[in-house]
Amino acid sequence: MDMPEENFTTAHRIAEAISNRIVSGALPPDAPLRQDHIAREFGSSHVPVREAFRQLEALYLVVAAPRRGVRVAPLDAKSTTEIVEMRVALEVIALRNAAPRYTPTHLAAIELALIEADNAETIQEFETANRAFHRALVTPCAMPRLLASLDGLRLANSRLVLAMARNAGWRPRTNQDHRLILQALRARQIGHACELLTRHNQTIERLARPGV
């Protein structure tokens, strides 16, 4: 039986709110998520809460286990490695398929996100622009399943970045990696751009390991 549209809307609202709490660190790793508590908070039945949990699990933000229920996904060395390796592999596939489809409008969107990241004054502003940059790189690939997976991996990656910022502090800075990737793409050096993107994405694992 199909879920009523109202429940889908409520589920999306709940998933978005909890996602923001997880990514920001307000909900720490392994924190339990109780259906009844969340349903009461959002004034809903358990049906949209279960759907919200399903959406969050697809985004790698929560895990469900027998006898333990639904909990915030871990943020340890193993999960960091998994997130990074999946993102490195999938984002390069998406970029290889996207780059030949670029128009001047696509390149302008990538550059705008780069500039917004450079101008960010807080880590939250930077990470929002950073996600926009990486999304703009791959959107023209027109592979919806792949893009949906990457959206989830980027959110999981944002948890790592924000956790590192809390541990080590953050200062506004120019992202030279982003500039080099865009430069390679403008020159139609797709293979080189993919190599730069791989190295760039792998840095998150090296930076995150000491603080995990």
pLDDT confidence of residue 89: 95
Instruction: Answer whether residue 131 shows pLDDT above 50.
Output: yes
The dihedrals phi and psi of 140, each to the nearest 5 degrees, come to: -65, -5
Q: Is the pLDDT of residue 122 over 90?
A: no
User: What pLDDT score does 210 carry?
Assistant: 43
Q: How much is the average pLDDT of 18-34?
A: 93
Does residue 119 share a domain with residue 33? no
Average pLDDT over residues 171-176: 72
Q: What's the token pair of residue 71? A: 């909990």
Position 12 pLDDT exceeds 90: yes
pLDDT digits (tens, 9 = 90+) for 54-101: 999 988 899 998 888 999 998 888 888 888 899 999 999 999 999 999
CATH of the domain at 35: 1.10.10.10
Query: The CATH number of the domain where 113 resides is what?
Result: 1.20.120.530
Residue 20 and residue 110 in one domain = no
Residues 83 and 142 in one domain: yes
Radius of gyration in angstroms for the set of CA atoms belonging to the chain, rounded to a whole number: 18
Please report which confidence band the pLDDT of residue 129 belongs to, taking 50, 70 and 90 as the band edges: very high
Task: Dig out the tokens for 140 from the structure.
Answer: 């023209």
Per DSSP, which regions of the chain are E strands? 32-33, 62-65, 69-72
Backbone φ and ψ for 23, nearest 5 degrees, come out as -65, -40
159 is written with which tokens?
């948890």
Beta strands across the sheet bearing 32-33: 32-33, 69-72, 62-65
Element holding 183 (H helix, E strand): helix 176-186
What single-letter amino acid sits at 130? N
Contact 79, 22 (CB under 8 A): no
The tens digit of pLDDT for each residue in 28-61 reads: 999 999 999 999 999 999 999 999 999 999 888 9
Q: What is the DSSP letter of 62?
A: E
Percent pLDDT > 70 in the chain is 89
50 lies in the same domain as 87: no
Q: Which residue range(s) make up the domain with 40?
A: 5-72
